[in-house]
Structure 1
Amino acid sequence: MDTPISVDIWSDIACPWCYIGKRRFERALEEFAADAANPPVTVRFHSFELAPDTPLDFDGSEIDFLTSYKGMPPEQVTQMLDHVTNLAQQVGLDYDFGSVKHTKTIKAHELVHFAHAHGKEAEMMERLMRAYFVEGRHVGRIDALVDLAEDVGLDRELALNALEQGTYSSDVSADKTQAAEYGINGVPFFVFDGAYGVSGAQEPETFSEVLREVVSRQGDNK
């Protein structure tokens, strides 16, 4: 059996480029998997907080957040959000920045680790990102998070207990430590087979090229 290719993705639920990058990577993965000669690919998501100082309930809009927390002029923020919205539409995502509820994402990251332990990591990551960018849902409060966990088929009470007890907080911390060791200071960041780093929401063709390179290297090492 061919050796699986591992892809580790550092991202933040509240990162618009991460969701776009996820979609672009998925497109590359679909094309790659269509060739039966290619090895399987395993994907693991890792935690990264872009703005760890964000309050649980930020009182203001996306424009308010970026102007007050990042010091960006409102006009520049508006142009940037329009640009990102257009790029998101190109990969089938309907961003609604007007309804985004800024919040601290630490508990959402814990929930992703909980979902991984129960075989629902990919579904949970997708649900959280859609809830945040498309539906204007709150992804910081525990009660809101267990609703989303239930949406993907996870046990509500188990999820509630894990979040209240901070069961997976050490896993989130470990992801952050690993990111620092890799020198990751922005997301999304993709690591292929522990050896090839790809930064940013690259086009599907870039991800496809890296996957082919990994297959080639695996062949050389046999």
Structure 2
Amino acid sequence: MTVKIDVWSDVVCPWCYIGKRRLETALDRFDGETTVTWHSYQLDPTIPAGQREPVREMLAKKIGAPASQVRAMTHQVTQLAEAEGLAYNLGEAISVNTRDAHRVAHLAGQHGLGTEMHEALLKAHLCDAAVVDDPDVLVKLATDVGVPAGEVTDVLAGTKYGAEVDADIRTARQIGVNGVPFFLINQKYGISGAQSADTFLGALQKVRSES
């Protein structure tokens, strides 16, 4: 039996990348078949398209905290990421509206490259401080994982895959997701947050034993 894992994630979410790595660690230790499908979620869909702002400034305004508190928060998550082999650069990261990035991720999913595209977007924003609403950046990231450049350009020029992004977010609301990452195993067990690899592995083994 193949265990199906659905993941809701935003491509600018530091906890989502940590959660992805911990899930992958669990999958490496799990001796069964699995499929992973990535779904769109926007931490802040109200950011105007085209607005770009340093993440630290955005966080300071959003939570009403002084710069020192924001630095402490980003330092903590950076250390946790480091433990998973991820080199975050949140001091340089730029906050953007992620809708276009998600639309491109859906295109990549049509080519069987959804996981690779999600990985590329997370790394670009969180580690490389790339601006992930920039069309040139999105075209390069997508073509690097194997999506035809012409298709990416076509998507970015219009509204393709917008309905799919909206559907993912609507489904998340319907099943009670109010933060990401969120993992749904076999449409049955929900795991919220970047839990430990042991937690993921235990859930996978439980689902398999019940089937």
Structure 1 position 135 matched with structure 2 position 96: no
Question: What's the CA shift for 1:59?
Answer: 5.0
CA contact under 8 A between 2:108 and 2:117: conserved in structure 1?
yes
**Unaligned stretches of 5+ in structure 2?**
none
- In structure 1, which of residues 192, 196, 213 is the aligned counterpart of residue 189 of structure 2? 196
1:7-57 residue CA offsets vs partner (Å, 9 max, x unmatched): 00000001000000000000000110xx3xx2x100000010001122344
- In structure 1, which of residues 9, 16, 19 is the aligned counterpart of residue 17 of structure 2? 19
The structure that has the greater radius of gyration is 1
- In structure 2, which of residues 2, 5, 24 is the aligned counterpart of residue 4 of structure 1? 2
Task: Give the count of matched residue pairs.
Answer: 211
Find runs of 4+ consecutive structure 1 residues off by over 3 angstroms.
Answer: 55-60
Q: SS at the partner of 1:99?
A: coil
2:34 maps to 41
Closer, same or farther in 2 for the Cα pair 1:162/1:57, shift >3 Å?
Answer: closer
1:117 maps to 110
1:119-162 residue CA offsets vs partner (Å, 9 max, x unmatched): 11111111111111111111112232111111111100111102
CA distance in structure 2 between the aligned counterparts of 1:7 and 1:26, rounded to whole angstroms: 12
1:181 maps to 174
The normalised TM-score by structure 2 is 0.96
* CA RMSD, Structure 1 to Structure 2 (Å): 1.2
CA distance in structure 1 between the aligned counterparts of 2:52 and 2:14, rounded to whole angstroms: 20
CA contact under 8 A between 1:57 and 1:102: conserved in structure 2?
no
**Percent sequence identity over matched residues?**
40
CA distance in structure 2 between the aligned counterparts of 1:59 and 1:117, rounded to whole angstroms: 29
The normalised TM-score by structure 1 is 0.92
CA contact under 8 A between 1:142 and 1:164: conserved in structure 2?
no
